[in-house]
Amino acid sequence: MTQKITCPICKSQLQKMTIGHIGTNKHSSALQKAGIDPSKDPALGLITTTQKKKSKGKINVQIEHRVSNLEKVVYQLQLQQEQILNHFNLKSDKIKKKKERYIKPEEILGAINKCVQINQRQSRWVKIDDVISLLKINREEDLNNLNKILINMFNKNLIDLAEGGDPKYPINYQNRIYGMVAHQ
């Protein structure tokens, strides 16, 4: 039968002194009651050197594991933060684009004149779709804005609107569908 060791701090009977025992609540509370700093624990001297090396290796592995878990959590938080920031940036970009992309009547008249030149001046009437493609309008908000401006220009007699042209983006105004436009 092996001889038992008595812990000098908590008076526990042990087969051998281990790091596991030093980490127990009973031992830690006895250290606190005695007013001994954990780094100056007299039970540490009773641990064999091989156990110390093993325990240091285990502690290092545990620390590495915890650090890698922390890195994973921080990485996930960064991804979530980027998603949140991108979400708000996209919304603010949409608002900015709405404000920035105001189509001027001069741009529209220039696009109409260019379409007439492309058609080699065969007709002063051009398709609204051709004007849209020259203005490089892609978004639905911009198309709605263009329709309002074209109707306003039509009401001011700056342009003429005509039916036809088989428009992809027609203008609906006064119960008619317009697909052709001409400079007044």
**Cβ atoms of 55 and 22 closer than 8 Å:** no
Angle at 39 between CA 35 and CA 44, to 5 degrees: 100
Query: Among the three residues 100, 115, 138, which one is the final residue of a domain in this structure?
Result: 100
pLDDT in tens, the chain (184 residues): 568 888 888 888 888 888 888 888 898 899 889 888 888 888 888 887 555 555 666 788 888 888 888 888 988 888 888 888 887 776 555 555 554 457 788 888 888 888 888 888 788 888 888 888 888 877 777 777 888 888 888 888 888 888 877 778 788 888 888 888 888 7
Shared domain for 54 and 74, answered yes or no, is yes
Count: domains in the chain: 3
pTM for the model: 0.42
Q: Do residues 38 and 89 share a domain? A: no
DSSP structural state of residue 1: -
> 116 with 78, same domain?
no
Residue 84's domain spans which residues? 49-100
Shared domain check, 170 and 121: yes
Same domain, 95 and 150: no
Check whether residue 109 and residue 177 sit in a common domain: yes
